[in-house]
Chains A and B, each alone.
Chain A
Amino acid sequence: MSINFEVNGKPVEVEVEPRLTLADCLRHHLRLTGTHVGCEHGVCGACTVLVDGAAVRSCLMLAVQAEGAKVVTVEGLSRDEGLTPLQASFRKHHALQCGFCTPGMITTAHALLSEEPDCDADRVREVLSGNLCRCTGYISIVEAVLDARSAYKKAAP
């Protein structure tokens, strides 16, 4: 099937089988390999992307369901070569070790902070409970997200 949607601000048209997940469509058809595929059944959160502004698991969505949607991947969060305030906060707080979970953590935290820039540590932990870090560096990740809140209070990036 031929589908049209928007990825990181650009319209795309791809030819896919109905069974192709959005995650595999992004990685294999559009070569956006920043979206990582961990468990492929909606448990690990590594494949989180934004669909029409909401954080969703791209392994639990068919590419054909994205017809007409606006999809943002981790590649689409920064407009140039620089880091976003959230990404810079991850670096500052050593919030990534092997880095496999990082794109999902960043996209999820970006959605959270965009909607709730005043969230507290409990809320950050509750939301990030859907993202597994097998290096178990959760404390640094929560600190990085909390420290990035100020950037979202000024203006949504």
Chain B
Amino acid sequence: MKLPAFEYACPTSISEAVALLASHDGEAKPLAGGQSLVPMLAFRVASPSLLVDLRKLAELRQIRITQDGVALGAMVRWRDILDDARLFTAHPLLVAAVEHVAHYQIRNRGTVGGSMAHADPAAEMPGIAVTCEAQITVMGKSGVRTIPAGDFFTGPLMTALTADEIITEVRLPLWPAGRRFGFQEFARRRGDFALAAAAVFYDDHGKACNTHVGVIGVGDKPLRLPGVEAVINGQNIDDAVIAKAEAATSAAVDPADDIHASGAYRKALAGVMVERALKAAAASSAR
């Protein structure tokens, strides 16, 4: 339906944007690409009094690749990630996950910060952030703070952000050459939110080490699964280990029934996604 009425502001600095958010008693919302927020308005799930458009904040559009890793500005679009050839080596897991984000037209406007702030439990970027132990830099009226991804998501569509805070950057730790990875997602139709997806990586020094396993779509927020990582660490990735990891994944998650799938189905699917991601990781040539 048509959107509810709201006021609109388009500030030219982050501090001005923060001041606008702070002045509206929690009723104002930042507007990034609008690919989640505008549908929320159309369904009248959200009815903010003020939208603070971040499109003029050019400093939020940068992708920085440094010796510490990859820093994605909050207004970086999916399309910018897929168009940046450096990221295919600097963070191939990120690129693999972003290829699954929604549709072509959505990827032309949807942003990293928008997806993080929306915090859909089945969204790819929050899953990558949690799996990779990203640090999220936010700015509010009391200044700048950095939140570990593991503490950032607090529930479905809920985050640690306060009403006056804007995400400025998502930093993914350095991706060493030779790391093995897999990203697998299952959705009924291309571009739909995942019924389940898994991101897996490990460093291969003869045996797998530093394994990270994350799943989305099977909980009220993206989950990292240390119990599954423990099954994999120190092992050669063979069929027996993959089968153990699959079983451990299904045992570790407890998804609820919803209209898209039963909890039991999602529980099984999460295991299959980890199985396939691990197989892809083991089969991948190192990069």
Q: Contact: B105 with A18, CB < 8 Å?
A: no
Cβ of A62 within 8 Å of any chain B Cβ, yes or no, is yes
Q: Contact: B42 with A41, CB < 8 Å?
A: yes
Cβ of B176 within 8 Å of any chain A Cβ, yes or no, is no
Q: Contact: B2 with A108, CB < 8 Å?
A: no
Residue of B at shortest CB range from A55? B105
Query: Separation in Å of the A36 CB from the closest CB of chain B?
Result: 14
Stretch at the interface among B4-12, B253-261, B267-275, B278-286: B4-12
Q: Contact: B3 with A60, CB < 8 Å?
A: no
Tell me the dominant secondary structure on chain A's binding face.
Answer: mixed
Q: Contact: A19 with B5, CB < 8 Å?
A: yes
Q: Contact: B39 with A41, CB < 8 Å?
A: yes
Cβ of A1 within 8 Å of any chain B Cβ, yes or no, is yes
Per-position 1/0 for B42-72, Cβ under 8 A of A: 1100000001010100000000000000000
Per-position 1/0 for B1-40, Cβ under 8 A of A: 1111111101000000000000000000001001100110
Q: Contact: A129 with B8, CB < 8 Å?
A: no
Q: Contact: B104 with A55, CB < 8 Å?
A: yes
List residues of B whose CB falls within 8 A of some A CB: 1-8, 10, 31, 34-35, 38-39, 41-43, 51, 53, 55, 79, 102-106, 108-109, 189-191
Cβ of A80 within 8 Å of any chain B Cβ, yes or no, is no
Return the contact of B8 from the options A18, A56, A57, A126 (Cβ within 8 A).
Answer: A18
Per-position 1/0 for A25-69, Cβ under 8 A of B: 000000000000000111001001000001111011110110100
**Chain A neighbourhood of B1, CB < 8 A:** 40
Q: Known contacts A64-B8, A127-B104; is A56 also within 8 Å of B189 by CB? A: no
Residue among B6, B7, B109 facing the most chain A CB atoms (10 A cut-off): B109
Query: Separation in Å of the A126 CB from the closest CB of chain B?
Result: 7
Q: A48–B104 Cα gap in the complex (Å)?
A: 11
**Chain A neighbourhood of B43, CB < 8 A:** 41
Q: Contact: B3 with A21, CB < 8 Å?
A: yes
Return the contact of A19 from the options B4, B35, B102, B105 (Cβ within 8 A).
Answer: B4
Q: Known contacts A18-B6, A62-B8, A129-B189; is A108 also within 8 Å of B55 by CB? A: no
